[in-house]
Amino acid sequence: MAQGDTHQQGSGSAPEGAPEHDAHHAPDHGSDHGEAGFWRTYVFSVDHKVIGIQYTITGFLFLLFGFCLMLLMRWQIANPGEALPVIGRWFGDDTMPGGIMLPEFYNQLGAMHGTIMVFLGVVPLAFGGFGNYVVPLQIGAPDMAFPRLNMASYWVYFVGGIVMLASFFVPGGAAQSGWTSYPPLAVINPTGQTVWLFGMALLITSSLLGSVNFITTIVQLRAPGLTWTRLPFFVWAQLVTAFLLLLAFPPLEAAAFMQLMDRLADTSFFLPSGLVVGGAVLDQVSGGGSPILWQHLFWFLAHPEVYVLILPAMGIVAEVIANNTRKPLWGYSSMVYSVWAIGFMSFIVWAHHMFLTGMGTVMNAFFQTTTMIISVPSVIILTCLILSLWGGSIRFSVPMLFALAFLPMFGIGGLTGLPLGLAAADIHLHDTYYVIGHFHYVVAPGTIFALFAGIYYWFPKATGRKMSTWLGHLHFWPSFVAMNLIFFPMFIQGMQGMQRRLFDGGATYAHTQGVLHWNTVIMVAAWTMALFQLPFIFNFFWSIWKGEKVSENPWQATTLEWQAPSPPPHGNFAQVPSVHRGPYDYSVPGADRDFTPQTDRGPEPIPAE
């Protein structure tokens, strides 16, 4: 039973179909929250809003660090063998003697860039940050179901991140086996790989704690009248994401401990017999393990992980589009069914990453088929979002610009993934820059643009102030152009056969000579994009204190979070909200304004499609 179940029901009768349980009042820990000191209020807080802000700030710092690693990589790829000006000598002779990057350090940058951006940046920001702050508000709850578990989830994540970063300072440097940590290379690499595995175990534990909390909160703590068909699409996306984390992460945690045993206890879960290292047979292990087993365990998590990255982004974009078109989402019911279909199908497509491992034509055919099938619900959601624009009174606010940019960028990412889902085409494209371009179109101009949309959209709710529109435009337009100049040329390079993970950018290969010049274009675009993140950083912190003060509902939105004060107090609502309609009743015929909040009885609600 959720913590709030023993509290007295609020006054007033719930509408028909309301949850019969009473799980809508502040948990017991809230009684002394106002008297808590600085550490309990802002550091070791159990308030979901503070924890959401902690996730958001920490996630953005990790994203910034991971982005800086990429900038170093792009310099090296565009200028192999040349010293990095000014800062190159700061790294020491072990990694960049004379400012010239060593291949081992490049491998460290590549492995840690992928790990940090996915596991320390995007997922904690999309799920931990936005989910923690917005979901309880959108369902009319006073907090998460398990506030102390929520606090523990953040701090386990934070410690896991520090452990990951600390690996740069151990002998031999950080992990060097890619963000996928493939054995046998990962098993025989220096100490940094061990630290990577310990950090990964902590991050997985954090996600498991958070996912249990989210599922319980959404099921148990919905406001009276907030039936399943009245949930905002963002809440549906977060609920499915929580199930993906809960079911997909345990196999990877088990695999991480198995790989740790291979490294520290001389087991051979993933080490084959007769492995030759440095010209000598590796004979201090028993052998008989399977490197392919790790790939199965890793990708069984990592493909659902792709949808952990994208589903919260779809939820954010849906909220922003509905609000800025001033009309209901087209096909709300279809979108909800589709997000559950994606969640289910994501568990039976993982081996399309493994077509080149020799699984055989029968298994290849199965995973080709499931990969094509999972594209259908993704297309349905994207189509519904695009059709929602038709006939709308569109407001081109800064959040809407980022949400609109998400649509074609995610479309490009999805379409370019189809050839990779076919075994025959994947023979040529596997491990080329085409794969890098495909994945990053989904996650960078896709998910990260959606996260920017969410920051600009919910910033007034968190602070009571609005971010600068002018600085928002200065952030959006150059970033949009730079993103495409970074990732689109990678499709050209990949189809030419340029392999990924080459520290010289393919300069030593004859077949890549015609596309090497794109490395310089990509580098310039990457550093340009870094420059135009500065307006966002300034805008974010400046607006906290100096931004334009706004009302509780500056966007004239309909969902429950906009009925709470800005910023919301502990407990969120002065009284338990009662829901009478769906989440997107914009431009209701007969209404005296173009938005009707979920708490208003008003005109007849618009039925869900």
User: Which residue in 482, 343, 479 sits closest to 402, CA to CA?
Assistant: 479
Q: Going by C-beta distance under 8 Å and a sequence separation of 6 or more, which residues neighbour residue 492?
A: 515, 518
**Dihedral sign of CA atoms 422, 353, 238, 567 in order:** negative
Task: Check: CB of residue 24 under 8 Å from CB of residue 224.
Answer: yes
Angle at 428 between CA 425 and CA 432, to 5 degrees: 115
Rg, the chain, Cα only = 25
Task: Check: CB of residue 77 under 8 Å from CB of residue 523.
Answer: yes
Q: What is the DSSP string of 346-410?
A: GGG-GGGG-GGG---HHHHHHHHHHHHHHHHHHHHHHHHHHHTTTT------HHHHHHHHHHHHH
Tell whether the model's pLDDT for residue 574 goes beyond 80.
yes
Condensed to tens digits (0 to 9), the pLDDT of residues 154-206 reads 999 999 999 999 999 999 999 999 999 999 999 999 999 999 999 999 999 99
CA–CA dist 292, 277 (Å, integer): 19
HSE (side-chain half, CA atoms, 13 Å) at 368? 14
Tell me the residue type at 338.
Answer: S
Condensed to tens digits (0 to 9), the pLDDT of residues 350-368 reads 999 999 999 999 999 999 9
- Token pair, residue 74, equals 């792009």
Work out the pLDDT band at 35, boundaries 50, 70, 90: low
Q: What is the pTM of this model?
A: 0.92
Q: What is the distance between the terminal CA atoms of the chain, rounded to a whole angstrom?
A: 33
User: Which residue in 346, 345, 338, 418 sits closest to 385, CA to CA?
Assistant: 338
Tell me the residue type at 83.
Answer: A
Task: Check: CB of residue 244 under 8 Å from CB of residue 169.
Answer: no
pLDDT of residue 25: 44
Condensed to tens digits (0 to 9), the pLDDT of residues 41-96 reads 889 999 999 999 999 999 999 999 999 999 999 999 999 999 999 898 889 889 99
Condensed to tens digits (0 to 9), the pLDDT of residues 82-134 reads 999 989 888 988 999 999 999 999 999 999 999 999 999 999 999 999 999 99
CA–CA dist 25, 507 (Å, integer): 63
Condensed to tens digits (0 to 9), the pLDDT of residues 395-411 reads 999 999 999 999 999 99
Q: Which of 29-33, 266-270, 418-422, 519-523 bottoms out in mean pLDDT, i.e. has the lowest? A: 29-33
Mean pLDDT of the chain, nearest integer: 92
Q: Going by C-beta distance under 8 Å and a sequence separation of 6 or more, which residues neighbour residue 257?
A: 197, 201
Task: Check: CB of residue 123 under 8 Å from CB of residue 305.
Answer: yes
Say how far residue 498 (Cα) sits from the centre of its chain.
Answer: 28
Q: Hey, which CATH number is domain 49-269+293-563, 3.40.190.10, 1.20.210.10, 3.40.50.970, 3.40.50.2300?
A: 1.20.210.10
- Token pair, residue 316, equals 């954010």
**What are the domain boundaries of the chain?**
49-269+293-563
Beta bridge partners of 174: 192
Containing 277, the helix (H) or strand (E) segment is: strand 276-277
Q: Going by C-beta distance under 8 Å and a sequence separation of 6 or more, which residues neighbour residue 510?
A: none
Q: Which of 7-11, 370-374, 545-549 bottoms out in mean pLDDT, i.e. has the lowest? A: 7-11
Task: Check: CB of residue 23 under 8 Å from CB of residue 4.
Answer: yes
CA–CA dist 75, 503 (Å, integer): 10
User: Which residue in 513, 535, 522, 528 sits closest to 440, CA to CA?
Assistant: 522
